[in-house]
Structure formats: C-alpha cells, structure tokens
Amino acid sequence: MTGYEAVYLNAVEWEAFTDSRPDAHILQAARWGALKSHFGWSVERVALRRGGEIIAGAQVLYRRLPFGLGSIAYIPKGPIADWSDREAVSLLLVALDEAAKARGAVLLKVEPDAEDTPRWRARLREMGFVPSPQTVQPPRTILVDISPDEDAILAAMKQKTRYNIRLAFRKGVEVRRGTEADLDDFNRLMQITGRRDGFGVHAPEYYRKAYELFAPVGRIALLMAYYRGRPLAGLMAFAHGKRAWYLYGASSNEERSRMPTYALQWEAIRWARERGCVLYDLWGVPDEDEEVLEAEFTKRRGGLWGVYRFKRGFGGRLVRHLPAWDRVYKRPIYSLYRLLTTYRRDGARR
C-alpha cells in the first residue's frame, strides 16, 4: 500500500477520528461499539492512514455463529470514507477482509450510511458484495429538517400533529430532561410498550448502559413526560455532528389522550437544535414506497405501521437507505446462513 497504512485503532483514537467527521453515523461511534461489546458482540476498529492522517475506517462488530461455524462481521452505517476516492476505499476493503478472515468470519455485512440508489447498488456489486437476506437496521426512515426556526418546523408538520403537541402541554403534560435516576421509569415504560405493541425491547441493562456511555459527552437525551408526577412516556435520542436520531421510545397505557409522546418528540427536536443539529432522524418506518404507506397506514397495525401513523405527522422527507449487503468468505456456510435467515424472515411474515 504505497503511501497508505492499514491500522487498528483503540476507542480513544477512533473517537478522535469520528469527531473529525461530523457526517459519521452514531452507530459508528466508539461508545456505540462499547455498548454492543457488553451484549454479545466484540469490536474492532480498522482504519486507513495516509501521511500520518486517518482518512477512512470502519467500526466492525463480530458475533459468533452457533455450532462453531465461525462468526459474522458487521459494519452498521459504515464504513466511513470518501467514497469518491476509489483507491482508498479499495485498500480499506482489503484491510477489512484481512481483519474479518482473521476472526473466522463467514461474511462481512455492511449497511452504508447512504441513500439507496441504482448507482450505489452497482458500486457495491463492483466491490464484490451481494444483497443480504438479513438487514439489521430499518432501511426506510423520515428525516426532518430542523435547521429553520421553531415556528417554521411546526408549520411543516401535519396540522393534527401541531395540535397534539400544543394539546399535551395544555393538558398538563410536563417534559423533563431525565437523569440516571429516571431510568427505572423509562424501563418500566419500555416493558409496557413491548407487551402492548408486540415490539422486541432490550433488557433494562441495555438502556442503562447506553445512558452511562453517552451521557458524559452530552450525546444522549433521556426525556420523560409526566402528568401529576406519573411517568406517561419516555424516549432516548442520540446526536453526533449535525444529526440526531430518535432510537427508543416508550409509553404508558394511561392518559394517552394527553398526547405525551407528541410533547416528547417536540422537546427532543428542541434538544437536538440546541446541540447544533440540523437533521432529526425518526428512525424506522415500514419499508414501502410513499404511495403504499399513505394508502395503507390507516388500515395496517402490525410491525412499524403504527409508528408510521405517528411519525409522518412531524413532516420531513421519506428516505430509503441502503439495506444490508454481504461480502462472502465461506460460501458453503453462507448458503446455510441464507437459507436459515430467509426461513426465519418468511416465518415471521406468516
């Protein structure tokens, strides 16, 4: 690699690199890797250095497959690179291949932080990737421009959503910026939400660890909505650079007519603006074209359909990011992996 050097970075070095890249996704943050390392994943940060400067890299998560079949290497919302620099991207990929194979990886799964376009798909195929049967992060989301003033942001929302935000405050909902002491309330609400809506939720320790890791650097907001001292709803939002992400939300079965979740989202947007963010990612709606979403959302209830009804009201732009693509190292085992993941996906649909 003339002029280039593949290197492995520790968490501090990686954080310095991502801090220099305001376009980096929160799932590539060193603290996100630390979070996943407490819950079954191992982490490795592979980078490319040129002239003493880190110019590209990826935080790779590894998880063992059952029966000693090897492992999966996974890069959520990465790698971080100037994709127009084909030489650098190619050399980074060589380094990632070497790292993944050294860990016994069957495949390298990537979900680049980019919108899904024919040009991107062609590029991934050129690099030897194939579409994966298993996408981890929801491909489709709603991005809200929060760079205008508050009045303009409200004006861009659906009329009913503006009404519900104001109604919540008129009906006595109080939103507080929570502390570690509020995590017990948040976790109780998460369990209620999971049971009510059929969502998979993490163990309480997961949300606690996320707060412990991101709170010291001000990159997480734990917001709680109360009515007369009773917790009605909560959310966790994260921020990096100019973007914020709404990743986790929960609500009680009580006092739903007071619209606490609308007040929470508004305060999360305000928090993100205070941090200098210009984009708020509502994170996850059904993976359908807008015409289908708009035609079906009043009729459908399963999966992410209920949250689409809620999220669409905040305005913004419907976007489809690239789903997962796989780079295969062990084809016989990968064929089994495809078979199993396709069976599980189709079984879930039934």
Element (H, E) at 143: strand 140-145
Q: For 181-220, write each residue's pLDDT tens digit.
A: 999 999 999 999 999 888 789 999 999 999 999 999 999 9
Domain ranges of the chain: 4-136+322-349, 140-320
Based on C-alpha coordinates, what's the Rg of the chain?
A: 21
Q: For 254-269, write each residue's pLDDT tens digit.
A: 999 999 999 999 999 9
In the predicted model, is pLDDT for residue 345 greater than 80?
no
175/270 Cα distance (integer angstroms): 12
Which residues, at least 6 apart from 6, have a Cβ–Cβ distance to it below 8 Å? 46, 47, 48, 49, 91, 92, 94, 95, 98
The helix/strand/coil state of 275 is coil
Backbone angles phi, psi at 297, to 5 degrees: -65, -25
Q: For 62-116, write each residue's pLDDT tens digit.
A: 999 988 899 999 999 999 999 999 999 999 999 999 999 999 999 999 999 999 9
Q: For 128-169, write each residue's pLDDT tens digit.
A: 999 999 999 999 999 999 999 999 999 999 999 999 999 999
In the predicted model, is pLDDT for residue 349 greater than 80?
no
Q: What is the pLDDT of residue 344?
A: 54
Structure tokens at 312: 């669409």
Asked if 17 and 9 count as a contact pair (C-beta separation under 8 A), the reply is yes
Which residues make beta-bridge pairs with 223? 177, 235
The answer to whether 4-136+322-349 and 140-320 have equal CATH topology is yes
Q: Does domain 140-320 have CATH number 3.40.630.30?
A: yes
CATH code of the region 4-136+322-349: 3.40.630.30
In the predicted model, is pLDDT for residue 171 greater than 50?
yes
Q: What is the pLDDT of residue 88?
A: 96
